[in-house]
């Protein structure tokens, strides 16, 4: 089993919920057989909670994906979901969060998708079960290892499953999609180049990164770049990065790995899983402590605030000059109260700013409409002036032509009279 979080979280709640519950695949348009099954939660409630949030990032979505051919029973599903929720929402009660679980089996393997609104229901504060950072990644890695060991599921960290060539995730997803819709995905050029490189290594012609670069050059390829763990090969206008131990600077020409005995494999697995389970319990306890501090019930918070006020009203003890110059550290609860006030002030400021922006937009729109109407009026005035000018020009031209014709007639008449007198 692997735990995957999707790089989404903005927009309306209908997007992620309909994606996991709809009967057809949005990527291919084909029917999902069997249809998705809601395991836990209410899709409409999840959509409503997401749409009601004012945060930019409103939800977290992801999936627990299992190896093809592994049978996951309903009892296993319930235990896996419960363990995930105890990990992600450690220290919280079920009434304090919302999660939607949906089973997918149309891709030839068992998947359990989840959608979580980013809000703690009692306080209305933001709740992010997968914030950035290595510590939070370690929490879900340890959860994955615990579940895989408990049910003897396929381990993604198993060294025997590692590839010599590391192919980007998006290429693997395209290949998986091709298999899903019954189409053969064209061979990645990396795989062809990797097969050639392995042939050269096994033949003894490549024993270092320099030898690898020469081998590709002999075949007519360009090698514009080489790094600590990769080689870049150029084919016409296409550049491909080959990454893995075989392409690194420390490669010595050996591909063979010593086969571990069954006892060594068992000891290695148990050692790693034991450390992972122990770290998982500690990480869950740390998250539970954090959640309990951040999402305290209002009654408890008010009691502590009253205690702090009473203490503040008490007369302070006399301090020496040395202690007077040193400021006492601020207590966590006071910090939290100040943070709450700051959040409220920020919320009011943001609300006021939004109202001012909306008024400014409305005023700008009205001004733009008035300007557009005025521009139309000016355009009509310009057209009417042009028409008047054209009519005037035509009238002047006609009058000028009449004057010229009359002058010519008078000149012809004079010439005629002159001929008679002569």
In whole angstroms, give the CA distance from residue 298 to residue 106: 45
Burial of 389 (0-12, 13-18, 19+ CB in 10 A): exposed
pLDDT tens by residue, 383-411: 888 888 888 888 888 888 888 888 888 88
Pair 102, 133: CB distance under 8 Å: no
Interval 288-303 mean pLDDT: 79
Q: What Rg, from alpha-carbon coordinates, does the chain have?
A: 39
Pair 60, 9: CB distance under 8 Å: yes
Over the range 181-191, which residues count as b (16 or more CB within 10 Å of their CB) and which as e? eeeeeeebebe
DSSP 262: H
Q: What is the pTM of this model?
A: 0.54
Q: Which CATH architecture has domain 2-159?
A: 2-Layer Sandwich (3.30)
Per-domain residue ranges of the chain: 2-159, 169-247
Residue tagged 């050059």 (tokens): 217
pLDDT tens by residue, 53-94: 999 999 999 999 999 889 999 999 999 999 999 999 999 999
Greatest Cα pair distance, the chain, in angstroms, is 147
Q: Taking each helix axis as running N to C, give the angle between helix 262-294 and helix 134-151, from 0 to 180 degrees, rounded to the nearest 10.
A: 130
What's the pLDDT score for residue 323?
Answer: 43
pLDDT tens by residue, 312-322: 666 555 544 44
DSSP 261: P
Which range, 209-223, 242-256, 321-335, has the best average confidence (pLDDT)? 209-223
Distance between first and last Cα of the chain: 128
């Amino acid at each position: 089993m692997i735990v995957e979080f999707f790089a989404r979280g903005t927009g309306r709640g209908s997007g992620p919920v309909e994606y996991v519950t709809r009967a057809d695949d949005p990527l291919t348009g084909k029917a999902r057989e069997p249809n998705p099954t809601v395991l836990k939660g209410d899709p409409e409630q999840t959509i409503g909670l997401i749409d009601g949030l004012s945060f930019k990032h409103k939800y977290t979505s992801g999936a627990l994906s299992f190896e093809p051919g592994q049978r996951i029973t309903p009892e296993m599903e319930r235990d896996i979901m419960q363990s995930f929720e105890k990990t992600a929402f450690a220290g919280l009660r079920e009434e304090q969060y919302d999660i939607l679980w949906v089973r997918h089996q149309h891709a030839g393997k068992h998947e359990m998708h989840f959608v979580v609104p980013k809000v703690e229901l009692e306080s209305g504060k933001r709740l992010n079960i997968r914030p950035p950072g290595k510590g939070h990644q370690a929490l879900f890695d340890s959860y994955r290892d615990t579940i895989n060991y408990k049910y003897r599921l396929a381990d993604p960290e198993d060294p025997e499953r590692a590839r010599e060539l590391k192919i980007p995730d998006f290429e693997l997803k395209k290949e998986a999609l091709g298999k899903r819709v019954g189409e053969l995905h064209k061979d990645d050029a990396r795989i062809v180049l990797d097969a050639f490189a392995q042939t050269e290594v096994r033949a003894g012609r490549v024993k270092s990164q320099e030898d690898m670069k020469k081998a590709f050059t002999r075949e007519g390829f360009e090698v514009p770049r080489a790094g600590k763990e990769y080689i870049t090969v150029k084919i016409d206008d296409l550049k491909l990065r080959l990454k893995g131990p075989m392409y690194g600077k420390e490669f010595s020409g050996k591909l063979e790995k010593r086969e571990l005995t069954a006892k060594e494999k068992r000891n290695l697995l148990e050692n790693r899983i034991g450390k992972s389970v122990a770290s998982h319990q500690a990480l869950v306890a740390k998250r539970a402590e954090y959640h309990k501090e951040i999402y305290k019930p209002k009654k408890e918070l008010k009691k502590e605030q009253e205690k702090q006020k009473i203490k503040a009203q008490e007369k302070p003890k006399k301090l020496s000059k040395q202690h007077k110059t040193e400021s006492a550290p601020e207590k966590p609860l006071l910090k939290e109260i100040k943070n709450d006030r700051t959040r409220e002030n920020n919320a009011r400021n943001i609300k006021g700013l939004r109202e001012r922006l909306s008024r400014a937009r409305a005023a700008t729109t009205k001004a733009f409409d008035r300007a557009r109407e005025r521009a139309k009026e000016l355009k009509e005035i310009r057209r009417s002036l042009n028409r008047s000018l054209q009519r005037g020009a035509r009238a002047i031209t006609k009058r000028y032509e009449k004057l010229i014709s009359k002058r010519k007639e008078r000149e012809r008449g004079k010439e005629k009279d002159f001929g008679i007198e002569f």
